Structure 1
Amino acid sequence: MTRPIEAIVVGASAGAVQALSRLLPNLPATYPLPILVVVHVPPERSELATLFGAKCRLRVKDAEDKESIRPGYVYFAPSDYHLLVEDQRTLALSVDEPVLYSRPSVDILFESAADAFGDAVAGIILTGANEDGAAGLAAIANAGGRAIVQQPHEAFASAMPLAALARCPQAEPLTLDAIARQIEAWAS
């Protein structure tokens, strides 16, 4: 039997705001799991935490270096920083080189979350126009975690979901509505 999910990591790029707007605002303020999100954004300051903070009942913030991961929070990777999960279940920010032209990188978040949480992490790849996240989702699946991909035909940009399914064939392709139901189910 697999352990209950203790954290959810999400990666998205082109079309991310619309996809996340169908997943995050419906979660109740009492939702018990942390959700860590990487969205490919330009290096200038991102307003994603502000935008979703106004829409969501959960607490939403930009991740801070060495911050403890707390339940019921949505953490966004700040623009131009990689977001990592450390073994002590704290967050780390890095300015290491971009991965697949992206900083923040979905792969870096997902691979570090797989190392920190093992089979108690769920990874979700949403819409996007490159291959970032495919290797990270495979790392989560290989650690025994749950791997979910937005149905490519439903995605605004299908390259990221298609790459993730090719690299991680055991991932489950789901519609956004089904992903929303799954996120809610992990809380129980």
Structure 2
Amino acid sequence: MSREDPHSILADGEAKLAAGDLDGALQAFERAVAAAPRSAVARSKLGLTYVHKQRWDDAAAEFSRAIQLDPTYAPAYSNLGNVYRERGQIDQAIAQYQKAISMDPDYWIAHQNLGVVYKQQGRVGEAVREFKIATRLSLRSPGAGEEGPARTGGRRVGCLGSGGMMLVGIFGLGPFLRR
């Protein structure tokens, strides 16, 4: 086991990922996994970096490992769903988003992702329902991001933006949400 502090390494990787330094982020998250091989968060962050590099098989493998390490870790299910969505495996994506929601009903990103898939399928009513839930939850905890407060010792990390109303603009569902 490495002597490096996994939390510091994760923070370094997150900073590099946010700056667009994918190779630096990849190296940092690989170090985090080496320092804490049983960390679902480290595996998930490594998987996210693979997503950014469009290395779908590697991403899916890391998210699956994260789930094996912590079967209650909602972000890993949601991220695995994103990989399936990218591959066009929509039914599998929906199943992963639903699993994420069953693990953490307040994980707004999974509701948002499920809404995206439903909208793509023309299931507008279901999409609107999920976007409303995502908006309500994100406004309640706007700082809760990819890893969420339950997995980061209470501190809030990253988010899509300030408040969930951006969902309305991004997905053009304003008229539906006002109903």
TM-score, normalised on structure 2? Answer: 0.32
Q: Which has the higher strand share?
A: 1
Name which one, 1 or 2, has greater alpha-carbon Rg: 2
Q: Which has the higher helix share?
A: 2
TM-score, normalised on structure 1? Answer: 0.31
